[in-house]
Every structure is written in structure tokens, then in C-alpha cells.
Amino acid sequence: MFKSKKITLERQMRMRKKLLKTIISSLMTVAITAFPVYDQTPGLAVWVTYE
């Protein structure tokens, strides 16, 4: 009983880590693809250079 419970817990942790990695990688992809758009906007480009 206890042993099987531990296995499911480990599996859940692995699933969560996988999910986190997927979310982070997709966010990074969005950030990378969205950045050229910021570059094209004059106001934001100025704000980035003076920051």
C-alpha cells in the first residue's frame, strides 16, 4: 500500500517538472518571437535604449 503510494507521488513530481519545463520553454519562445515587434515600435525601442 505505502510503496505504491510513493511511486504515484514520484510520478506526479516528474509530471509537474515536465509541465513546468514545457511552460517555461513556451514562454521563452513567445518572448523571443515577440521581441522583434518591440524593436519595430519606436517608443519602446527608445525606452529600452534609455533604460
pLDDT in tens, 2-46: 666 777 888 999 999 999 999 988 888 877 776 666 556 555 555
Can you give the pTM of this predicted structure? 0.47
Distance of CA 23 to the CA centre of its chain: 4
Q: Which residues contact 45 (CB under 8 A, 6 or more apart)?
A: 38, 39
User: What's the pLDDT score for residue 51?
Assistant: 46
Distance of CA 10 to the CA centre of its chain: 22
User: What's the pLDDT score for residue 9?
Assistant: 87
> Alpha-carbon distance 31 to 21, whole Å?
15
Please give the backbone phi and psi of residue 32, each rounded to the nearest 5 degrees, phi first. -65, -40
User: What's the pLDDT score for residue 25?
Assistant: 86
